[in-house]
Amino acid sequence: MDTTGTLDEALQRLHVSGPERFGRLTNHAPMAVEALAANGQAAAVHRWLDLYSSRLEEFPAGVAPVTDADWASALGDPRRAADWIGYFGRELAERPWRDVLALWWPRLLPGMYGGSTHPVIRVGHAVRTLLAGEGTGPRLTELAHGLGYWAARHRPVTGLTSVTGADSAAAALDAVPPLADRRGGFPDRLARVGRLPVWAAAVTDPADAHHRLTELVRAATHRYATHGHGDATMLVHAATAPNAVLRVLPALPQALWVPSLQAAWTASAAVTAMYAPDAPVAYVPPGPVTPEEVLEQALAHGDEHVIKLTDTALDVGDERALAAALRAVQLSEPLR
């Protein structure tokens, strides 16, 4: 983890910006700079941020403060993003961050599908920094921004019908029925997801939940290498969303691990249903590479989703995961 202060400087620079632009596109910069710093690339953080800065918008105006008495009425209202961020800023100033997270995680978890799963991913990056080092002001503020964005974009998935699944995460992802109607963006497609396979439904033990979630992250990352062409950007989230949940588990009471697994599976499977291609393609990477070389290629490419998938691939750590990261470099438009 970065100990140079660079990450804190970058977060301070970013906290004057809002969580979105154009009212719908996520600000990925806090997640990407954390991924770079966490993987030994702190020296590149500000240079990358300079390239990305044209995509940042000013912090939005508030409507009214969120309070303990009325928070439920503000949940899922994107107009209240500034209000929610302010609320969590106050909470984290008064109470240990783990306590705030443990209280709000089960409230927010059913709505992790809003904002194209980006809010939970941002929280996952913020929690990783807090678990790895000192809870500095900028890192606690980043958690407030992530939780606030999640509360503002909170969107549950309802009315799902279970279909036959499989024992392994990889086979269960293969069994996901693709949407017949793939028009529109993430919210429109998500509303049409009605059938998902059963997987890991019988898990009750927290340790088993952790194991299964690790398996899901590995399977979804591997799958990107052969299925990422369905949508090079959106299919990244089939891996990065469950990995965000996996990163948060050590900071949560173990009683929350099983429902976290179930929500992460729904997210990964739903993204797969919305964006999977009609058929996989074979992908063979151009020779053996080291994790350091893959990270260098991702950084040179610059796209925020490529950086974040590479970050997850490095967590998985095997050759197929590294191949998936290289596939993302191949499929995605570089940051310019």
Of 112, 128, 152, the last residue of a domain is 152
Dihedral, 107, 112, 115, 118 alpha carbons, nearest 10: 110
pLDDT at 284: 84
Q: Is residue 205 part of a domain?
A: yes
Do 173 and 215 contact (CB within 8 A), yes or no? no
pLDDT tens for residues 186-241? 999 999 999 999 999 999 999 999 999 999 999 999 999 999 999 999 999 999 99
Please state, in angstroms and rounded to a whole number, the distance separating the CA atoms of residues 164 and 199: 9
For residues 182 and 265, state if they share a domain. yes
CA 215: distance to chain centroid?
17
**173 assigned to some structural domain:** yes
Contacts 24+ apart (CB under 8 A), 265-268: 265/172, 265/199, 265/200, 265/216, 266/113, 266/157, 266/160, 266/196, 267/112, 267/113, 267/117, 267/120, 267/237, 267/238, 267/241, 267/242, 268/173, 268/216, 268/220, 268/238, 268/239, 268/241, 268/242
50 in a structural domain: yes
pLDDT at 77: 98
pLDDT of the residue at 2: 59
Q: What is the pLDDT of residues 278-301, one digit of tens each?
A: 999 998 887 889 999 999 999 999
Residues 293 and 169 in one domain: yes
Instruction: Please check whether residue 1 lies inside any domain of the structure.
Output: no
Does pLDDT of 79 surpass 80? yes
Q: Give the tens place of pLDDT for each residue, 49-72.
A: 999 999 999 999 999 999 999 999
**Structural domain includes residue 251:** yes
Q: Which two tokens stand for residue 140?
A: 């606690």
* Helix-, strand-, coil-residue percentages of the chain, each rounded to 5: 65, 5, 30
User: For residue 317, is pLDDT > 80?
Assistant: yes
Of the candidates 152, 182, 207, which is a domain's last residue? Answer: 152
Do residues 11 and 139 lie in contact, with contact meaning Cβ atoms separated by under 8 Å? yes
> Of the residues 126, 152, 178, which one is the last residue of a structural domain?
152
Per-residue pLDDT, 19:
98
79 DSSP assignment: G
Say whether both 266 and 306 belong to one domain: yes
Do 274 and 190 contact (CB within 8 A), yes or no? yes
Over residues 104-149, the pLDDT tens digits come to 999 999 999 999 999 999 999 999 999 998 899 999 999 999 999 9
129 shares a domain with 219: no
> What total of structural domains would you count in the chain?
2
Question: What is the model's pLDDT at position 285?
Answer: 81
H or E element in which residue 26 lies: strand 25-26
25 plus 112 within the same structural domain: yes
Answer yes or no: is 246 within a domain: yes
Domain match, 68 and 147 both: yes
Do 175 and 262 lie in one domain? The reply is: yes
237 and 324, same domain (yes or no):
yes
Q: How many residues does the chain have?
A: 336
Residue 270 lies in a domain: yes
Name beta bridge partners: 196.
Answer: 162
Q: What is the pLDDT of residue 3?
A: 57
Average pLDDT over residues 181-185: 94
pLDDT at 99 over 60: yes
Are 127 and 173 contained in the same domain? no
Same domain, 108 and 198: no
Look at residue 248 and tell me whether its pLDDT is greater than 90: yes
Range of the domain at 39: 6-152
Same domain, 148 and 162: no
Whether residue 16 has pLDDT greater than 80: yes
Structure tokens that stand for 152 in this block: 């503002």
- Looking at the structure, tell me whether residues 224 and 298 fall in a common domain: yes
Domain-embedded: residue 225 = yes
- Residue 1 is predicted with a pLDDT of 56
